[in-house]
Amino acid sequence: MYEAVFLSDIHFGIMQNEALILEFLRELKTKKLILAGDVISFSVKDTTPNLDTFFNIIKSQDWELIYILGNHEKESLNFEKFANYFKDINILNEYSIDINGNKIHIEHGDNFHYKDPINKAIKHFMLKSKLKTYKKSSKKFKSKRNLYYKIKPLIKKILYKSYINYIKKEAIKRGANIAICGHLHEPEIKQLSNVKYINCGDWIKNCSYVTLNSNGVLELKYYKQKG
């Protein structure tokens, strides 16, 4: 039995492997289940297969369920339409756990887009230069388009560094030495000076999750289908 299990970016509604997440959750033994955002894609429909089964499982198991909102839920999900599903669910923007002298800060990570100055500057530059606008258009803008593709990897790199730095700072602000987030869809666990950074990954490509045991040990794991 785990102390807690963390999942993010399941993206119900656009994921292909609903059966897999259902199988995983049915077998899971944990005291707390922490869903760290973008669990439901904004494009979800009430006809999305297995959506009711998914909510039934997360609500009916013995664990304490914590549902942290991601950008997909916050910005675009029609909560009225899905009110029945979210009934009796503890919905939060962030959460924290104290264990064995460690403090874990958990958030989805999308506030980065509103709060981080480097992210804002890059966005501003992309808009001003119109590089992104021309990426798919005609020959006339070929040079802009080529430039866009040339600088894209560099921008990605800068944004990644900026993102993990943002998460680190948010953890420190709250007196936490461990930060768990999602949003990037890139499962990762690494020590950043005085904060351990853990990204839950996603269930579109990776089927990854993070476990916390009673000794305070955190591990990043990948779920594989049985048989």
Name the site residues for Mn ion (rule: CB under 5 A): 38, 70-71, 183
Torsion of CA 13, 15, 19, 24, to 10 degrees: -110
Torsion of CA 142, 148, 153, 156, to 10 degrees: -150
∠ Cα 20 33 201 (to 5°): 55
Task: State the greatest distance between any 2 C-alpha atoms of the chain, in Å, as a whole number.
Answer: 61
Between CA 4 and CA 144 the distance in angstroms is 48
Structure tokens at 22: 């259902």
Nearer to Mn ion, 23 or 186 (CB): 186
Of 30 and 199, the one with the shorter C-beta distance to Mn ion is 199
* Least separation in angstroms between CB 71 and Mn ion: 5
Residue number with CB closer to Mn ion (144 or 205): 205
| Cα–Cα distance for residue pair 70/181, rounded to 1 Å | 10
The distance of closest approach from Cβ of residue 93 to Mn ion in the complex, given in angstroms and rounded to an integer, is 13
Least distance (Å) between residue 62 CB and Mn ion: 28
Q: How far is the CB of 68 from Mn ion (least distance, A)?
A: 11
CB atoms under 10 Å from CB of 23, counted, come to 14
Residue 28 or 36 having the CB closest to Mn ion: 36
Which C-beta is closer to Mn ion: that of 2 or that of 199? 199
Cβ–Cβ under 8 Å, residues 18 and 54: yes
Q: Mutual orientation of helices 18-27 and 51-60 as an angle, nearest 10°?
A: 10
User: Could you tell me the smallest distance in angstroms from the CB atom of residue 9 to Mn ion?
Assistant: 6
